[in-house]
Structure 1
Amino acid sequence: MALAVFVPSAVYGIGSGAAAPMLPLHALELGASVGTAGVVVAMMGLGLILGDLPAGWLVARLGERKSIAVGSLVSALGLLVAILAPTIAVFALGLLINGAAGAVWGLARQTYVVAVVPGADRGRAFSALAGWMRFGFFAGPFVGAGVVHWLGPVGGLWIQLVAMLIAGALVLVMPEPEGTPAVVSDHTIRSVVVEHRRLLGTLGLAALLMGAARAARQSLLPLWAVHVGADAATTSIIFGIAGAVDVLMSYPAGIWLDRYGRRAIGVPAMILFAAGYAALPFAGSVAGLTAVAVLLGFANGLSNGVIMTVGADVAPPGQRAEFLGAWRLTHDIGMFAGPIAVGAISAVTVLGAAAVAMSVAGVGGAAAMYRWFPGLPAPQTSVREPAPKSESVDSG
């Protein structure tokens, strides 16, 4: 798994980490307002949403390696469009294409891990997967700081383009890992979604709110950095420090997922997200912003692997790729909604109001996870379809 999944994920993360804090800044360079910049960054999330269900179909029929190769090429195309964009509209289109390609990458890695890792070890496996990518995401801003100083915010996108091509090549040239099941599926995306609509609507609500809490950081923190007078290089360093905390939490989070259950990790993570966003309006300096970014990084690290692990717990074996495509859609709708909410709220009020709104969403996510997430790790836990409203999804 190290060569087949973890190393390419780290390279992928380096590119994403270098580009993430630069996206709203480059949007501002192209003439966007603060509110518009938040909306433009959300195009990555919209791309994920549009790509999730087709990704399920693609992975179910081509397998993981070929799907990642296709996703890498499409992502490179989207990044070129974004880099060379003369207007904010073309820049948004490039981010949309890149987001759709990211859906294929994410799903292909998840289906592989589900197929080869026993249920009792899934928390650690998915936390390791996310941890390698987050290590790359942590390193990315430091790698990108020099290039950004030379080229400006667009330098982060150049790093992501190179990293994407390298990660795709690493996966493509490696032999098929032993134990990968044959790709056989005769289920349609629509039939899988309809069959599991109640499960997707309950557990999926918690996944949606976590996605919003995670993604809002990518637009809200850089925009707040502009508010307190930090330049692009300083913003990259702040993201890097927060990323270090995120990465350090990866392995402990996986152990706790398997030992104490999905709910015991998801609920505290969402409460910490809520606390971090509530504190942001009081951060009036670079030091204060760094403290908030570290708290949000800790929350993100604690939640490491939660959504992928819960999805793996409930995915039906004969419909795995299609179901996980739909499951990822619930989380990615939140990834899209978070930056959109930041942009929309800050456009009509002030940026601090967007932080307060995300804090409220964090509290709601904690409540949803307490209500529906399982209490004990798989395989001892059987996560089932939502029972009558007097029951919650819990250990069987």
Structure 2
Amino acid sequence: MSPAGGADFSLRRLAVPAYGPSLLFGLGEGAILPVIPLSARALGASVPIAALMVMLTYASSLVFNVPASVVTYRLGERKAIVGAAVVGAVAVGFAWWATQLWHLVGAVLLFGASASVFMLARQSYLTEAVPISHRARALSTLGGVMRIGVFAGPFLGAAAIGQWGMSSAYLVCGAALVAAGVLAATLPDLQASAGGGGRVPISVAQVLRQHVRVFLTVGMGVVLIAAVRASRQAVIPLWAEHIGLTPQTASLVYGIAGGVDMLVFYPAGKVMDHFGRRWVAVPSMIVMGLSLLAIPLTHSVVPFTAVCCVLGFGNGIGAGMVMTLGADFSPDVGRAQFLGIWRELSDLGAVGGPAMLSGITAAAALAPAVAATGVIGLVAAAVLWRHVPSRPMPSVQRR
């Protein structure tokens, strides 16, 4: 059960054991994501197949979210985090060794499954370990730290590739994941988690039935949030190409927007803790929705960059927002199972958003597709305004 008080609590206590593994996992993931399609090409894959390789990690996570909740429930959060880091390191070892395309496919799928367990267990751990008064700051920081790792990872991987060749990026990832596992092993077991003791047996189906109203209301908002966020990652490079920017300029714009994204996660978490989740969740989606609607109106690098920075700001203030809402509505009994379903909703949106963008672009054009994504952001804001409480939540849906 999450501690109710927190006047003397400091997030600094968790800086190394809780956030260190997340930073390292993000570094490792960022190091290999740009390399996976290139490895597939080197093993004989066509360009379309190579482009699908990165999506396999998300597809694996989508399939494994609910099993990940069972793993976390049975092992406890600390052991699940350590185990996921070890399995992830084994997966990238297979990718480094791969001599045929199917070897790489298997490695990527295994890595996606390990990432699903890792992310669910770290969220569940912080939900239990941090007082409710500090929850949004803790989870926003968790989301921000992971983003910093994914942002820095490609640079670390590029440095290794320059020295030892393309496959060395997998070794960088493997080393980061081993270090993440070692740090995670220093986490104290939660009282209700050690060896699964103290937990009341409950199935995923029972949790789904008990909380179906939450999943059909706030959960639908989570689907829309994830759709907008995932589409944003495709919109920036696609619109940059549409207005004639070079790949180098497009990457620079993407990087600048990502830098803005990473600057605001902690203040946003503090606002959520002090004033309520709605006062960040709704503005985040409004800013992102209006920014996406504005992108088709830009036709040169300066206005496009300015709008992308505003878009990054909207995304940045929402760091940890989905995890915080999941933690708020999760029950004491069946928390891991609840969060597994919650992550399933998020991943459905993350897969569906880019698919919708692609479909509308194919049927009409890129500009209407980007505008439709902006409209989804505004719809998400309306759903969140309707169903997310305006005040801080001392206890929600407890069982």
**CA distance in 2: counterparts of 1:136 and 1:120, whole angstroms:** 26
1:176 and 2:191 equivalent? no
In 1: Cα distance, 2:254 partner to 2:34 partner: 7
Q: Extract unaligned runs of 5+ from structure 1.
A: 386-396
Aligned to 2:346: 331
The answer to whether the 8 A contact 2:331-2:397 is kept is no
Contiguous gaps of at least 5 residues in structure 2: 1-13
Closer/same/farther in 2, CA of residues 96 and 298 from structure 1, 3 Å limit? farther
- In 1, Cα distance between the equivalents of 2:231 and 2:120? 22
Give the Å deviation of 1:26: 7.5
User: Hey, what does 1:68 align to over in structure 2?
Assistant: 81
Q: Is the CA contact (8 Å cut-off) linking 1:125 and 1:254 kept in structure 2? A: yes
Count of residue pairs the alignment pairs up: 379
Q: Secondary structure at the match of 2:229?
A: helix
> Would the alpha carbon gap of residues 240 and 141 (structure 1) be closer, same or farther in structure 2, given more than 3 Å must change?
farther
Note the C-alpha offset of 1:303. 0.6
Structure number, greater radius of gyration: 2
Distance 1:85 1:267 in 2: 48
Aligned match of 1:14 in 27, 51, 67? 27
Q: Counterpart of 1:130?
A: 143
SS of residue matched to 2:333: helix
Cα distance change, pair 131–351 in 1 and its aligned pair in 2 (3 A)? same
Letter in 2 for 1:201: L
CA contact (8 A) 2:78 2:189 kept: no
Cross-structure match for 2:290: 275
Matched, 1:3 2:16: yes
Q: State how far apart, in whole Å, the 2-side matches of 1:241 and 1:102 are.
A: 27
1:95-116 residue CA offsets vs partner (Å, 9 max, x unmatched): 4433322211111111111112
Task: Tell me how far 1:270 sits from its aligned partner.
Answer: 0.8
On the 8 A contact 2:23/2:145 being kept in 1, the answer is yes
What TM-score do the two structures reach when normalised by structure 1?
0.82
Match of 2:124 among 111, 127, 130: 111
Change (3 A) 1:27 1:209: farther
Q: Distance in 2 between matches of 1:268 and 1:236?
A: 27
3-state SS of the aligned residue for 1:186?
coil
Q: Is the 8 A contact 1:17 1:137 kept in 2?
A: yes
Secondary structure at the aligned position of 2:334 is classed as helix
Question: For the Cα contact (< 8 Å) 1:41–1:92, is it kept in 2?
Answer: no
Q: How big is each residue's C-alpha offset from its partner over 1:228-259, in whole Å with a ceiling of 9 and x where there is no partner?
A: 4544x666554443232222111101111012
CA distance change for structure 1 residues 178 and 325 in 2, over 3 Å: closer, same or farther?
closer
TM-score normalised over the length of structure 2: 0.81
Q: Percent identity?
A: 37
Quote the residue 1:212 is aligned against. 227
* Residues 297-317 of structure 1 deviation map (CA, whole Å, 9 limit, x = unaligned): 211211122111111111111
1:337-371 Cα offsets, whole Å, 9 max, x none, are 22333344445554444322321221121111111
Aligned to 1:195: 210
Instruction: Tell me, yes or no, if the aligned pair for 2:80 and 2:118 is still in contact at 8 Å.
Output: yes
